[in-house]
Chains A and B, each alone.
Chain A
Amino acid sequence: MITLKSISKAFEHRPVLKNVDLAIGSGESVFLCGINGVGKSTLLRIAAGLLSPDAGHVEICGRDMTKDPEGARLHLGFISHKSMIYDDLTVLENLMFAARLYGLPEPRRRAADMLDEMGLSGFAYDRAAILSRGMLQRLAIARALVHRPAVLLADEPFTGLDGKAAAHLTDVLQGFGGAGHAVLMTTHDVAAGLQCCRRVIVLHAGSILFDAATEGIDPVAFARDYVTYAGGRP
């Protein structure tokens, strides 16, 4: 579903990613971790088509991001710690807008269904500006999933969330991966990342250092070992 082939990227001649290869299949959820500045967000933004790699190419559901960007983006959902929500639109309008951007046939109905699913129906006609951080993140998730994407990219989605909101997001991510879709996420919360995903990848010095199934990994030991090895917080 997601194929990243020989991705390299440098910022002002400082290499961030060096020849990274990554393939994520249907039903796979991958937790990408690494110290600050190692290139996790850069890799995600390249996968989303928001940033062009210096070398290599990206395929989403068989669509090449360079040759057919619209076709590739059609299958992509993106969640980040920033909501991508307009303060001056209502909660329902925000979702209807997203649904229209993806050409959905009944944007109002689809938006209302998503609000039901996320438990935001009671706020449908309120301006998004009044939502709490947790509710805003739920709306951001609804926005990312409104067009039923096959691939979900999540960049630090747990930032600023309280326990309840984080638990809800964990459910959503686990459910999405379990439904045969693909997930690629980054977070500094190692326990949450290992809980949400079935595979973990450690990015270090621009390359993939470690790639394994999360099953059986102890989050505390993993975080400790990583800190010892990489010399920084994962």
Chain B
Amino acid sequence: MRYFWMSLGAVFVKDLVTELRARQVLPTMIVLGMLIVWVLRIACEAAAGSTAVIGPVAFWIAFLFSGILAQERSFATEQQHDCIYGLLLAPIDAGTIYLAKLLVNVVMLCIFEVIVVPVVIVAFNLRVGAGWPGLIVVLLLGNVAISSVGTLFSAIVQLCRTRGSLLSILVLVVLAPVMVPATFALLLMFGAIPAELVGTGALAFVGTFKAAVGYMVAFDVVFVTASWLLFGFAIKE
């Protein structure tokens, strides 16, 4: 067990240090995120749309696309000088590599969220009030979902030398089931869905805020576990 934590820590620290030193991912993520928020804010104003509706949507669009950008880099550094073989030759389980990479992507997205969330709240004049804990939980669950799917498919796409553009398609398709409850949870939180409409229409299956969070937890648990177990097969040549 000690060895598991040691190798997990080694890969995690190595990835974080190389990312922070290269300063390639975070600035690009922030610029893209801000651009998305700005464009949606203009669209909201032009169409006289409700900020409580567009705001939560802006969260997920910004996280999703900036997350994919970060995850594309996840295994790109391992491709340089065949570094991935250095990892695969080490006496560590492939699942440990996956978990370390997942943690790095979660941390990168967390740093991104710390910067972008206040901007979205101010730009769309959202009232969080006492809803901060709920907002943090939903954003974290969404973060884990995006990172877990992105990390797995980034490995498959990069290491199997498939075309890079496939990553976005695969990630977006697989994440669709979790994006519905994630959006629903934030819409409910910011009062964008009138109480009488909750449990009706297209989002009826999600039910309540608690149910939406439950869906997200289930997705995260299932996907992280499955990816951890399958990662070895996914990166095998």
A37 within 8 A of B: no
Shortest distance from the beta carbon of B127 to any chain A beta carbon, whole Å: 42
Binds B, one of A73-81, A114-122, A173-181, A216-224: A73-81
Contact call B237/A101, Cβ cutoff below 8 A: no
A4 within 8 A of B: no
Contact call B10/A84, Cβ cutoff below 8 A: no
Contact call B3/A103, Cβ cutoff below 8 A: yes
Contact call B89/A100, Cβ cutoff below 8 A: no
**Residues of chain B contacted by A80 (CB below 8 angstroms):** 82, 85
**Residues of chain B contacted by A73 (CB below 8 angstroms):** 89-91
Size of the chain B interface, CB-CB below 8 angstroms:
27
Binds B, one of A15-23, A44-52, A162-170: A44-52
Instruction: Kindly identify, within residues 139 to 186 of chain A, every residue whose CB is under 8 Å from any CB belonging to chain B.
Output: 143
A225 within 8 A of B: no
A86-B18, A88-B21, A93-B17 known; A100+B91 contact, CB < 8 A? no
A88-B17, A97-B10 known; A74+B91 contact, CB < 8 A? yes
**Pick from B6, B7, B18, B92: contact of A89, CB under 8 Å:** B18
Contact call B7/A103, Cβ cutoff below 8 A: yes
**Residues of chain A contacted by B82 (CB below 8 angstroms):** 80, 82-84
Among B6, B22, B90, max chain A CB count under 10 A is at B90
B87 within 8 A of A: yes
**Residues of chain A contacted by B91 (CB below 8 angstroms):** 69-71, 73-74, 101-103
Contact call A97/B6, Cβ cutoff below 8 A: no
A200 within 8 A of B: no
Contact call A100/B17, Cβ cutoff below 8 A: no
A70-B91, A73-B89, A101-B90 known; A86+B6 contact, CB < 8 A? no
Interface range for A: 20 to 34
Contact call A70/B89, Cβ cutoff below 8 A: no
Instruction: Kindly identify, within residues 171 to 188 of chain B, every residue whose CB is under 8 Å from any CB belonging to chain A.
Output: none
**Residues of chain A contacted by B22 (CB below 8 angstroms):** 88
Question: A101–B90 Cα gap in the complex (Å)?
Answer: 6
- Which B residues have a C-beta under 8 Å from some C-beta of A? 3, 6-7, 9-11, 14, 17-18, 21-22, 77, 80-83, 85-93, 236-237
- Which A residues have a C-beta under 8 Å from some C-beta of B? 48-52, 69-71, 73-74, 76, 78, 80, 82-89, 93, 97-98, 100-103, 143
* 9 A/B residue pairs, CB under 8 Å, sorted by A: A49-B89, A73-B89, A78-B89, A86-B77, A98-B90, A101-B90, A102-B91, A103-B91, A143-B86
